[in-house]
Amino acid sequence: MTKHAVDDLFADDPHAPDAFALGAQALLLRGFALAQADELLRGVAHVVQEAPWRHMQTPGGQSMSVAMTGCGPLSWVSDRRGYRYAGLDPLTGRPWPAMPAAFARLARQAAERAGFVGFAPDACLINRYAPGARMSLHQDRDECDLTAPIVSVSLGLPAVFLWGGTTRTERAQRVPLAHGDVVVWGGVDRLRYHGVLPVAPGQHPATGDCRINLTLRRAR
């Protein structure tokens, strides 16, 4: 098995490595956020008080299965007009909540561990996956600065991360993610297609019956 053949590699392996290369400039950091998980979830709760969860619409008019909110100077939005970053929450008409310091700190640390020194996110998209919620294969390409990495933090219920190629037709690998795992990708891997399979029902001590995902980006 090559280092890129990761389908179900760590599903039941208690001796999985702390860091695993998914590509030349993509790294899975096992348990990297565990020590800060409680602080991160407190930050999520604070953000949700100001910017409630919502199911955004795609440009085609479909409602996303994943509930979303965001924080930072900018956050990502989707509606009939398309995908974009905005400084105001379209639900409240107010600026997005400030990004909790713990979010930016973890993103900087994870990015540096993956070789991206000096990463300073200005947007965090927060996703809540109830059982059955999924994210189809897509690229993150709405950001102005495509030289900066993406930092994705998993909290709560486990999920299967789909890690594809640079075209939608390439077969995506299946990467199990657990509470506290962080994936960082940038450079030559920045425009890889990726997604999440439907989350299985379950309960987690930290989040109950859902998975929370923080995706930190440099949008401008």
19-39+100-217: which CATH topology?
Jelly Rolls (2.60.120)
Domain assignments of the chain as residue spans, ordered by start: 19-39+100-217
Average pLDDT over residues 180-209: 98
pLDDT of the residue at 17: 61
- Run of H or E residues at 68: strand 67-71
Residue 100 pLDDT > 70:
yes
Residue 9 pLDDT > 80:
no
| pTM confidence score | 0.92
CA–CA separation, 158 and 24 (whole Å): 25
pLDDT of the residue at 13: 52
List b or e across 40-59, with b for residues whose CB sees 16 or more CB atoms inside 10 angstroms.
bbebbeebbeebeeeebeee
* CA dihedral sign of residues 47, 129, 9, 11: positive
* Listed residue (74, 77, 107) closest to 91, CA to CA: 77
Per-residue pLDDT tens digits for 48-82:
999 999 999 999 999 999 999 999 999 999 999 99
pLDDT of the residue at 12: 47
208 DSSP assignment: B
Residue 32 pLDDT > 70:
yes
pLDDT of the residue at 121: 98
CA–CA separation, 125 and 159 (whole Å): 17
Per-residue pLDDT tens digits for 108-120:
999 999 999 999 9
Task: Give the CA radius of gyration of the chain.
Answer: 16
Least confident of 5-19, 122-136, 157-171: 5-19
- How confident is residue 105, by pLDDT bands cut at 50, 70 and 90? very high
User: Percentage of the chain with pLDDT > 90?
Assistant: 92
* CA dihedral sign of residues 109, 111, 112, 118: negative
Coil, strand, or helix at residue 43?
helix
pLDDT of the residue at 209: 98
Residue 195 pLDDT > 70:
yes
pLDDT of the residue at 8: 46
